[in-house]
Structure 1
Amino acid sequence: MSELIVQFSGLVSVFVYGTLKPGEANYQKYCADKVVDAQRATAQGQLFALPMGYPAMTLGYDQVHGYLLSFADLGVLHDLDDLEDYQPARQVSENLYNRQQIEVFNLQKISLAWAWVYLMTPDRVSKIGGVRQPDGWWSGCGLTVSS
């Protein structure tokens, strides 16, 4: 099965809401030297804190806070796919997270871009024991939504 990769203006956009955000645990290893732009952003969905110490996002109608990261190298998706245990050829239920595109907004609710995001299925979130984060913000290192 092949996967269509959409790139506008030569950049790959990824919405991050957890350990890949600037200042969080995986940002340095996976993003810091590859990102060409990072801006605060929001997307529609639901955010959950998982007992393993990282979050999951599902589709929904709440506001999830994070960052829109832009990369010049398409190869970054392969590294992120490995981190998120996503393989395009597997069934949705077999992946820990699934990568898909969603619309991302700035803090004034103006559309910024369609970006890749890693989502977990609601069923998996429930089985793992995810706790909904009604404010749409997660941090593993104490960052606040206003940081």
Structure 2
Amino acid sequence: MTENSPSPDQCHVFVYGTLKPNEANYDKYCAGQVITQQQAIAYGELFALPMGYPAMTIGNKQVYGYLLTFPDDIILEAMDDLEDYQSDRATSENLSENLYDRQKIETFDLAGSSLGLAWAYLMTKEQVIKFAGIAQTDGWWSNFSGDRPKF
């Protein structure tokens, strides 16, 4: 392993909502623990939910967010609690007892080169419909107007 190569123990998480830098949950869950962060793209569909946070589903549209790197996967325990995810709950593509399901997805830099796999919290389309989610056709969600960085 070279000095610049990532440690196999590091944990990569793609965030697109309240865990992004400058959003509501970043300071509580991520600040002071993130080794690196970079703008990133994943493929799915993004929705704004009336509860004040977004949901990403499986899909083929660009979703813009950040790839956060943590020293290890201990951070996932706190994130799992926030996202109401428990690995022992039943889940399928169309139905989940979790609010979000944690899945590994491929992430990309802004030029389209792969950044590798990262954990992401995804919701089923049925849950998004149940919550009356509104499609974010530009692939970006923020609680702050005008907060979209240049991607």
Q: Secondary structure at the match of 1:80?
A: helix
What is aligned with 2:148? 144
2:128 matches 1:129: no
What is aligned with 1:51? 50
What is aligned with 1:4? none
Count of matched residue pairs? 141
Q: Contact 2:42/2:108 (CA < 8 Å) preserved in 1?
A: yes
Q: Deviations over 1:70-105 (max 9, x none)?
A: 000311000000000000000121100000000000
Q: Contact 2:9/2:73 (CA < 8 Å) preserved in 1?
A: no
2:106 matches 1:103: yes
Give the counterpart letter for 2:74 in structure 1.
G
Q: Secondary structure at the match of 2:18?
A: coil
What is aligned with 2:33? 34
More helix by share: 1
Root mean square deviation, CA, Å: 1.3
Q: Which runs of at least 4 in structure 1 moved beyond 6 Å after TM superposition?
A: none
Report deviation, 1:9.
2.8
Q: TM-score if structure 2 supplies the norm length?
A: 0.90
Contiguous gaps of at least 5 residues in structure 2: 1-5
Q: What does residue range 62-73 of structure 1 map to in structure 2 within 5 Å?
A: 62-73=61-72
Aligned CA distance change for structure 1 residues 137 and 87 (closer, same or farther; 3 Å): same
